Amino acid sequence: MKKVAFLAPSYPVLSETFIRTEVDSIKSCGHQVCVMTFIKYHNCSEFSYDTHEISANLHLSLLTTLSPVGMVRALSFIAKQHSMPKLSLFRYSLNLALQMRKEGVNHVHAHFAQHTCAHAITAAKMMGITSSFVAHGHDLYETPYDVHLKVNNSDFVVAVCKDMEHNLKKINHDKIKLLHCGVNINEFPPSQLSSAQRQGSTPIRLVFLGRLVEQKGLNYLLQSLHELAPQHSVTLDIIGDGALRSSLQQQVHTLGLSKIVRFLGAKSSRWVSHNLVNFDCLVAPFCVSQSGCVDTGPLVLKEAMASGVPVITTDLMGCKEIVAPGTGLIVKQKDSQSLSHAITEFIHYPYQKRQEMRRLARLNIENNFDALHQAKSLSHWIENCAS
């Protein structure tokens, strides 16, 4: 089987656990794997594969192993770039190619349709191997760079939701594959309910998990809690950090929500997998930011449901594909009143219905978003594309 190099801007990143999950799953399919990154963090010793930092220092002893025809094709691709410094792209791609040659890589798979993708395509052409990339959200809808060029020069491209698939197929219908980011369900064991949850006691424990940035829509969630009827007993734990933390804390104070809303800060993936189950519902009010950034297939929804936690989210992109009937509620984006009504509806559900939602949520992930099953599709595409 082909040895696969995964290319990421930096690695590992707490908010990009989908990359690590995919690497682990492809390895489980039988591939040798490694990660190539421009910024390598120090906590890579825990992984069962090598992580390499790409530098501008060339390993010239391996130059003769590159393809002369491929080098011409790489230079042609570089010349057509409009959004990257061409000399930098050439130098880093050349070193990436030499590093991958040294590691015996046969296929390179990049995450994000920006500079990582451009470097992966260029290096693959230099080596005469195959390449692919997966697009996510901001790289297509907020800051797209030479997307047409990258799609047409890759062997295949992965879209993480149907709306993205539809958009990318307008560029090149034959090269686009649909594959949702998967969850390692073994990291989220079936829920063991507390005595309070078994008895259906109040308050209802809501949780928000994610970066505190505009497209997560947390300000609408806070406003929706303010609009709840006073007799509705809920709490909200906010897990994550980001640029908007101070303004959101001020909003909590202004709305008089300080007694029911807690900011817990960023937590490790291990903490998340062990503690999500303690909540009654995850609320993820995603929206399109003013700059056009949007979440296309949020992993947090799948992680919550893998833990047996129902979700309330918005009707954006992949969200509506993830939330199956009986596993949660979907509302319009940027609509705090609709969100408040959905939370109220969930509060009024009888205990038995909330328990059934927990069961269906877990079942939905097992049947449709298991990372190993998703990886088998990616492995098949990698094995069957010829250089």
CATH class of segment(s) 3-182+370-384 = alpha beta
Domains 3-182+370-384 and 187-368 share a fold: yes
pLDDT band at 261 (very low <50, low <70, confident <90, very high): very high
Residue 288 pLDDT: 86
pLDDT in tens, 101-158: 999 999 999 999 999 999 999 999 999 999 999 998 888 888 889 999 999 999 999 9
Query: What interhelical angle do 17-28 and 371-383 show, nearest 10?
Result: 70
Fold of the domain spanning 187-368? Rossmann fold (3.40.50)
pLDDT at 136 (0 to 100): 87
Q: Which two tokens stand for residue 291?
A: 């700059």
Q: Where are the alpha helices (DSSP H) in 154-212?
A: 162-169, 195-199
The pair of structure tokens assigned to 259 is: 């007694």
Helix (H, G, I), strand (E, B) or coil at 131: strand
- State the average pLDDT over residues 270-297: 88
Q: What distance in Å separates the CA atoms of residue 367 and residue 306, rounded to the nearest whole number?
A: 11
pLDDT band at 190 (very low <50, low <70, confident <90, very high): low
Q: Is pLDDT of 194 > 50?
A: no
Range with lowest mean pLDDT among 2-6, 58-62, 149-153, 164-168: 58-62
Nearest-angstrom CA–CA distance, 290 and 224: 21
197 band by pLDDT with thresholds 50, 70 and 90 = low
Please write the tens of the pLDDT for every residue from 228-255. Answer: 877 788 999 999 999 999 999 999 999 9
Read off the pLDDT band of 192 (50, 70, 90): low
Residues above pLDDT 70, as percent of the chain: 96
Q: Which of 16-20, 29-33, 293-297, 326-330 has the lowest mean pLDDT?
A: 293-297
Q: Please answer whether residues 303 and 323 qualify as being in contact, where contact means their C-beta atoms are separated by less than 8 angstroms.
A: no
Q: Kindly tell me if the per-residue pLDDT of 1 is higher than 50.
A: yes
Which position has the token pair 């080596």? 127
Mean pLDDT of 66-82: 94
Q: In whole angstroms, give the CA distance from residue 96 to residue 156.
A: 20
**pTM for the predicted model, two decimal places:** 0.87
Please determine, for residue 256, whether its predicted confidence score (pLDDT) is greater than 60: yes
What the block records as the tokens of 164 is 């993205």
Confidence of residue 291 (pLDDT cuts 50, 70, 90): confident
pLDDT of residue 270: 86
CB distance 177 to 194 below 8 Å? no
Q: Quick one: pLDDT at residue 317?
A: 80
- Measured CA to CA, the distance from residue 227 to residue 224 in angstroms comes to 5
Neighbours of 376 (CB within 10 A): 14
Residues 6+ apart with CB under 8 A from 386: 130
- Integer CA distances (angstroms), 87 to 79, 149, 150, in order: 10, 18, 18
Cβ–Cβ < 8 Å for 165, 141: no
Name the residue ranges covered by the structural domains of the chain: 3-182+370-384, 187-368
Crossing angle of helices 68-79 and 86-103, in 10° steps, is 150
Asked if pLDDT for residue 321 goes beyond 70, the answer is: yes
Angle between helices 115-127 and 86-103 (to 10 degrees): 60
pLDDT band at 196 (very low <50, low <70, confident <90, very high): very low
